Amino acid sequence: MRRASRLSACLIFLIIVGCADNVARYSSRLVANPEGDERRTLRMGTNVDITLDSGYTRALRRGSRWQSVGRLPQGEVYKPIDSVLTVEGANVHEAYIVVEGKRLVGFYLPVENAFTPISSKPSVSLQE
């Protein structure tokens, strides 16, 4: 009986430790580009490897195309063209990149109307 209790305790511990953290989300309002205003389409100039705060990784590939869709207080928001970007924690969320200056500062989660920051803030090169 003792062995079964220890085995159960170890199994519960592994399940708890193995669960990923939730993606931190902060309510944010996207200010969309004005209607009729030409939306800028840019290309990623270099490969960018990102480690999310949840521990998962994502890659933004050189040559991938991004369309400006608006702005958050944290930066300009770009939606991927011809692909879907997700961020992952305990759940998976559709995401757009948020760039301030030449740094990726986080992601806009369009379904949740939320911003999720990243700690690493890698440099990105978006080109016309």
Nearest alpha-carbon partner for 32 in 82, 80, 84, 67: 67
pLDDT score, position 23: 77
97 within a domain of the structure (yes/no): yes
Return mean pLDDT, the chain.
Answer: 85
Range of the domain at 54: 21-127
pLDDT score, position 19: 52
What is the spatial distance between Cα 118 and Cα 23, in angstroms, rounded to a whole number?
A: 10
13 within a domain of the structure (yes/no): no
pLDDT score, position 108: 97
Of residues 40 and 54, more confidence is placed in 54
68 within a domain of the structure (yes/no): yes
78 within a domain of the structure (yes/no): yes
Q: How confident is the model at residue 44 (pLDDT cuts 50, 70, 90)?
A: very high
Per-residue pLDDT reduced to its tens digit, 21-33: 577 878 899 999 8
Q: pTM of the predicted model, to two decimals? A: 0.81
96 within a domain of the structure (yes/no): yes
Of residues 86 and 34, more confidence is placed in 86
How confident is the model over 35-43, as a mean pLDDT? 75
47 within a domain of the structure (yes/no): yes
10 within a domain of the structure (yes/no): no
4 within a domain of the structure (yes/no): no
Instruction: Count structural domains, the chain.
Output: 1
Q: Calculate what percentage of the chain has a pLDDT beyond 90.
A: 59
